[in-house]
Structure 1
Amino acid sequence: MDSLPTSMKPERRGRSKPLPTSSPSIVMAFFSCLAWLYVAGRLWQDAENRTLLTGLLKKNLDQRPKVLSVEDKLAVLGCKDLERRIVEAEMELTLAKSQGFLKNKMQKSSSSSGQKLLAVIGVYTGFGSRLKRNMFRGSWMPRGDALKKLEERGVVIRFVIGRSANRGDSLDRNIDEENRTTKDILILEGHEEAQEELPKKAKIFFSTAIQMWDAEFYVKVDDNINLDLEGLVELLDRRRGHDGAYIGCMKSGDVISEEGKPWYEPEWWKFGDEKSYFRHASGSLFILSKNLAQYININSASLKTYAHDDTSVGSWMMGIQSTFIDDSHLCCSSTAQDKVCSLA
């Protein structure tokens, strides 16, 4: 029996719905991708930099000299090696001077009889003091033949001056011309003539004078005083043979610590709480025996200078076996009574 056909309804195949995707997730994924790319790029760049630096360091090490240059040593040691060498050279120079190994390039002068001079007198002067020099030449200071006769008696007198800051200018030329005429000026070639350089002038004067003349005494005189020359010669003659003599009008005094005031001392703090100078001879006129002048000559490179020449010389005399001789005849004042000097 044939079965009856049954009607079949076609199956409906439904389409699946897409899963919902949120917008924030997509944004986060995008930024995560960017972050990854950034980190990867930095790591690659750092690796490349390290490779480059490693190559440069290796190249520099290969090219580095086995023996360091002077520049390398100075950079590494901070100039200590150079400083040590300078100190050693100064010590060797001092030893050579003291033992007489250096040749004296300046011809020594003495009296015609060949005996040692009594004194070398240096009168400090400056470029603007020609009128003062002429005044002294017309009063207490001999000139011409009289100056030569005084040297025969054993006393040499010279005006003492340095060189201009502008070497070879009209100031230097005028001094050279004046000296050619008068022959009474000692020109300190290694000294720059300036007020602030006076303490150094003392070192150079005594060093130069003792190399040029062999004398019992070396005298420093300011150019603002009149000198009783015969009285000074008599005073020195009585002191002949007195080694270690530091002679002058001895004084002390307050250290001026206020900048801008007369006699200001920049290193005032070194003189203690009371700020008083040690005992020293007045700068107007003081005298050193030969061995003290020789001491300055030998040790000039290491001698400390202060603001003034008289305190500087006094400080040098403090540390050695010198005899301080306080002579009131050397205390220059407005009156010449019982004095060998008076204010001009």
Structure 2
Amino acid sequence: MSWKSRGGEKTVSRRWTLLLCVGSFFTGLVFTNRMWMVPDAKDIIRTSKSKEQRKEVITERYYPKLMDQKEEARKILGENSTTDEDLQLLNKTISNLEMELAAARMAQESLLKHSPLAEEPKAINTSRRHKYFMVIGINTAFNSRKRRDSVRATWMPQGEKRKKLEEEKGIVIRFVIGHGATSGGILDRTIEAEDRKHGDFLRLNHVEGYLELSAKTRTYFATAVSLWDANFYVKVDDDVHVNIATLGTTLARHRLKPRVYIGCMKCGPVLARKHILHKYANEDVSLGSWFIGLDVEHIDDRKLCCGTPPDCEGKARAGNTCVASFDWNCSGICDSVDRIKEVHRRCGENESAIWNAVF
């Protein structure tokens, strides 16, 4: 360790000050590791305290030191960093901390507000013991019932076939939606009735809104990770056609890679240094930017963004079946309710493909 003399006093160099701060930060993480643990669902449900009292206890116990550490790291990043390596190290630390904080906060709030996370603790425990291959979340809205039905009639298996897909292939598929601005209102009751009929929804602790798609995407991934232990988590819209077997075989090629983000990169990478979790207007842009600064390999696979016929049809005939098909000018299949069946007929994989596929 080097020392510099200033006015007769010994001071630590800026470089060593930075390294000592980083070391202290990680030491703090080790000693506060227990704070990351979300209270067991049954303990929260059975407690006699009121919801507000429980929320105060959890907030007071689990977050202050973590938030202090995050702010300390931000100060270090802004004031003492001198090299690109230091910046990258601290950026990764902050982004990892923010991502885990978001996931922990969402899970705790869901438990307190009696969302499916709190209402079905047995299902959570069972899911965590079973290893799934991939979870596919289909982003949908309250007014998209016809779109959902068109997906159910084409590429998404129904009833016992969907259950068999989960049990034998480890593939979970759910429509993803939050709640209306008025809790328990007509919008929520309509979705609940549809879910009783089909059983294919994942309800989020999130208020639906077009300008909140980025927040919804973040909540979806955090919720999916808390419910299912899977190799891959997929997000798709309800106006896109997907070939599940082709998607599975495509992802399987990257299965041994520890951290990958696979998608169709339309406009190149989105860089963000100070605001890792900044929410852009487009949720896919937001998702890509959140991984900047993390040790994640970005893979641009054009099979995930084929056009509708004749594009996907020609590729299928050539033996290069597409993973997903949509129209670029609509960011989905234009008039998908009427056209998705045609896309499925001309570009869809054989019905037996999913059952014969090995991932």
TM class, shorter-length: 0.5 to 0.7
Output aligned runs, 1:112-127, within 5 Å.
115-127=130-142
**Correspondence for 1:278:** 270
AA partner of residue 245 (structure 2): E
Deviation at 1:331, TM superposition (A): 1.5
Indicate whether 1:167 and 2:159 are aligned.
Answer: no
Q: Name the SS of the counterpart of 1:108 in structure 2.
A: helix
AA aligned opposite 1:228: N
Which position in structure 2 is the counterpart of 1:342? 325
Q: Which amino acid aligns with 1:171?
A: L
Query: What residue number does 2:302 align with?
Result: 328
Q: Is the 2:130–2:229 contact (alpha carbons within 8 Å) kept by the matching residues of 1?
A: no
Using the size of structure 1 for normalisation, the TM-score is: 0.56
Partners in 2 of 1:86 and 1:228 — Cα distance? 42
Structure 1 318/96 Cα, relative in aligned 2: closer, same or farther at 3 Å?
A: closer
* Counterpart contact for 1:140–1:227, Cα < 8 Å: yes
Query: What is the CA–CA distance in structure 2 between the aligned matches of 1:229 and 1:96, rounded to whole Å?
Result: 28
Give unpaired runs (5+ residues) of structure 1: 1-84, 254-276, 281-300
Instruction: Write the mapping of 1:1-344 to structure 2, written as runs, cut at 5 A.
Output: 88=65, 90=67, 105=118, 106=121, 107-108=123-124, 115-152=130-167, 153-188=169-204, 190-252=205-267, 278=270, 303-334=277-308, 335-336=311-312, 337=315, 338-343=321-326, 344=333
Deviation of residue 238 (structure 1)?
A: 2.1
Tell me if the contact between 1:329 and 1:340 (Cα under 8 Å) persists in the aligned partners. Answer: yes
Distance change in 2, residues 1:323/1:96 (3 Å): closer
CA pair 87-332 structure 1, distance change in 2 beyond 3 A: farther
Normalising by structure 2, we get a TM-score of: 0.54
Retained in 1: the 8 A contact 2:304–2:323? yes
Q: Which stretch of the first structure deviates more once superposed, 202-211 or 163-172?
A: 163-172
Distance 1:91 1:180 in 2: 44
Query: Bigger radius of gyration, 1 or 2?
Result: 1
Aligned-residue offset at 1:181: 1.3
The residue type equivalent to 2:286 in the other structure is S
Partners of 2:237 and 2:99 in 1: CA distance: 33
Secondary structure of the corresponding residue to residue 250 of structure 1:
coil
| 1:118 and 1:215 in contact (8 A); partners too | yes
**Paired AA for residue 328 in structure 1:** R
Q: CA deviation at 1:237?
A: 2.1
* Inter-partner Cα distance in structure 1 for 2:175 and 2:285: 22
Deviation at 1:144, TM superposition (A): 0.6
- Call closer, same or farther: CA 1:175–1:243 in 2, change over 3 Å: same
Which amino acid in the other structure matches residue 141 of structure 2? G
- Would you say how many aligned residue pairs link Structure 1 and Structure 2? 214
Q: In 2, Cα distance between the equivalents of 1:331 and 1:303?
A: 25
- Conservation of the 8 A alpha-carbon contact between 1:111 and 1:151: no
Identity %: 40
Gaps of 5+ in 2: 1-61, 71-96, 109-116, 316-320, 327-332, 334-359
Matched residue SS, 1:120:
strand
Q: Distance in 2 between matches of 1:89 and 1:125?
A: 34
